Chain A
Amino acid sequence: MKKTIIMGLVMILILIAAMPIFARSTYYFPGDSVFSIRAGVDFPAFISFY
């Protein structure tokens, strides 16, 4: 189950990363800049000791 979820997420990331191959539209130019503010919640996912 865990492996299936991880494989699914990896596939989604690969598909998103490969999107420029299918749709080559670009909006940004070198030198453009972005300022961002983020706020939200934080889920504790795991802690492993060794």
Chain B
Amino acid sequence: MTFSDTHLKLGGFASLSYQAYLSEYTALGGELAYVFNYSNSGLLLTTVPITAKFTYVPVQTGKFDIALSLNLGGAFIRYNEGKYFAPFASLTLTPSFFFTENWGLGVETGLMVTSEFYGKNSNKNLASAFCGLMPVTLTLSYRH
């Protein structure tokens, strides 16, 4: 399976998240994102995931953090005239450098997976599918 098999072009990703620390190493919160990709035929695929976000921060020096995050939730997907609410999961890794006590900048990347399920009794004649997207983002964080 190669990049071109998806019939999608390079897209964009933006999100807002808020998390509170449950312990020294773990944080729990939520994330709202907007993802878009154009298909090779020029149609727009948009994905709006609303997820719970669990983060584990094994490396934290005060200046430098490495965080592993798991997002679980659902995503509103729209492609051409079709709409679907799909289960959504993502696993990301974020090294961050805090240039002040409160403000940090990091690079976040990982894998996001969505799926569409159509059973035998579905009135739509469509195949079920899994879609994997890999965001590479700059992450600006404010902590307090």
Contacts and interface: CB of A to CB of B under 8 A. Distances in A.
Contacts of A35: 16-18, 141-143
Contacts of A4: none
A13 B93 contact: yes
Interface in B1-35: 1, 3, 5-25, 27, 29, 33, 35
B18 A44 contact: no
Interface residues of B, number: 60
Contacts, number: 174
27 contacts: A16-B93, A19-B66, A27-B62, A28-B24, A28-B27, A29-B21, A30-B21, A32-B27, A33-B21, A34-B18, A34-B19, A35-B18, A36-B141, A38-B17, A38-B33, A39-B15, A39-B137, A40-B108, A40-B135, A41-B13, A43-B136, A44-B6, A45-B134, A46-B132, A47-B8, A48-B129, A49-B129
Given A33-B27, A33-B29, 16 more contacts: A13-B68, A16-B68, A20-B59, A29-B24, A33-B144, A35-B143, A36-B16, A38-B139, A40-B135, A44-B134, A45-B132, A46-B1, A46-B132, A47-B7, A50-B128, A50-B129
